[in-house]
Amino acid sequence: MRTLFALVLVAGLGSAAWADPAGAYDVKFEEMGHNCSPPPVALGRGKLTIATRKNSLVVNIDTIPEMAGVPEKGGKVNAKTVKGAVPTTVGGLDAKYSIAGKVDDGGMLQLVLVAEYIKHDDKKPYCTQSWNVTGLRGAPDKAEKK
């Protein structure tokens, strides 16, 4: 009986280790929608990295400012730009970014990225754009988890 309990415990711990979303992902962005005319940003394929530390989770995407959050159980990811609205590559627009979703046990990432654009000059909302972000975890990188 003790052996069976030990095997179940080890199997449970093994799957919990996979729940850590940290890693580098090759991702595809599929636009879900926008109310912008024209849409400020077009995203196709890119690199996304997630780093976890004791009480923080950091998401980096090539052309988007760093987003931070708190690690959650089960591979859940929830992060946003820390300083609120940040400058974008589009002249005259700042943006607040947020990302949420999950990384499953097999390393498959499924997130939703939302950009809320704000006019730089008068700080009034301009439009919102969102994408489905999917990808697979690549080879582990020592710098991602400290």
Please give the Cα distance from 74 to 19 (Å, whole number): 5
Contacts of 133 (CB under 8 A, 6+ apart): 27, 28, 29, 48, 99, 101, 109, 110, 111, 112, 113
Confidence (pLDDT) at 54: 83
What pLDDT score does 88 carry?
Answer: 87
The pTM of this model reads 0.81
For residue 61 the two structure tokens come to 């995407």
How far is the C-alpha of 49 from the C-alpha of 22, rounded, in Å? Answer: 7
pLDDT of residue 139: 57
Q: Would you state the pLDDT for residue 140?
A: 55
The domain 2-144 belongs to what CATH superfamily?
A: Quinohemoprotein amine dehydrogenase alpha subunit, domain 2 (2.40.128.120)
Q: Provide the pLDDT for residue 9.
A: 36
Where exactly are the structural domains of the chain?
A: 2-144
Could you say which residues of the chain have pLDDT below 70? Answer: 1-19, 139-146
Whole-number Å distance between alpha carbons of 19 and 72: 9
